Amino acid sequence: MDLTCRDVMVPPDIQRTVSPDASVATAFNIIKQSRARFLPVVDDNGTYVGVFSAPTLLKLILPKAALINHSFEPSRFETLNFFSLSKSDFEAQLAGLKHERVRDNMSLPENIPVAAPDTPVMEGIFRIHKFKRHLMLVEPGTGKFVGTVSANSILDQVLGDATIEE
């Protein structure tokens, strides 16, 4: 039987998620505790609504001036060396995020690759390569979050005991 994305996924009981109504501070604590790079955002019904990522968290800490007119063009700043940030400054920046909501700072589903759990694993690998992101598995028709597929989950599940001779 051919492998599917379900065969190599990180299931929802292991993959930490966050509610869209949670504070960014809550998402930070989950990311810090689990050392995750991203959290699928799942509503109270289990429906996948987006992704909150560690890079988004870091962006929220940047000075607002550094992000003005910052689309895909280089920032007018060559460097931010003139901004200083002590550990206590950093903690104060994080404390200010308790009023920010995940829903206002997440990547929307259309910006993240999504597949059905029964998608062939080769298609999952292709989407991970193409989008340079983890693959979210969502149940067709219901939109329910099922799990995630990453390069590591594929390597762990398929090649867990394999080694390559050097």
Mean pLDDT of 119-146: 93
123 contacts: CB under 8 Å, gap ≥ 6: 5, 115
Q: What percent of the chain has pLDDT over 70?
A: 83
CA atoms within 13 A on the CB side of 75: 12
Please tell me which residue, 81 or 132, carries the higher pLDDT value.
132
Q: Is 144 helix (H, G, I), strand (E, B) or coil?
A: strand
Where on the phi/psi map is residue 149: left (φ > 0), alpha (ψ -120 to 50), or beta? beta
Report H helices in 62-136: 64-67, 87-95, 121-131
CA distances from 1 to 36, 105, 121 (A): 31, 40, 12
Cβ(93)–Cβ(39) below 8 Å: no
Nearest 5°: phi and psi at 45? -90, 0
Mean pLDDT of 68-96: 65
What are the tens digits of pLDDT across the range 20-63? 999 999 999 999 898 888 999 999 999 999 999 988 888 887 76
Q: What would the two tokens of residue 160 be?
A: 């867990």
Q: What would the two tokens of residue 75 be?
A: 């920032």
| Spatial separation of the C-alpha atoms in residues 125 and 115, rounded to whole Å | 11
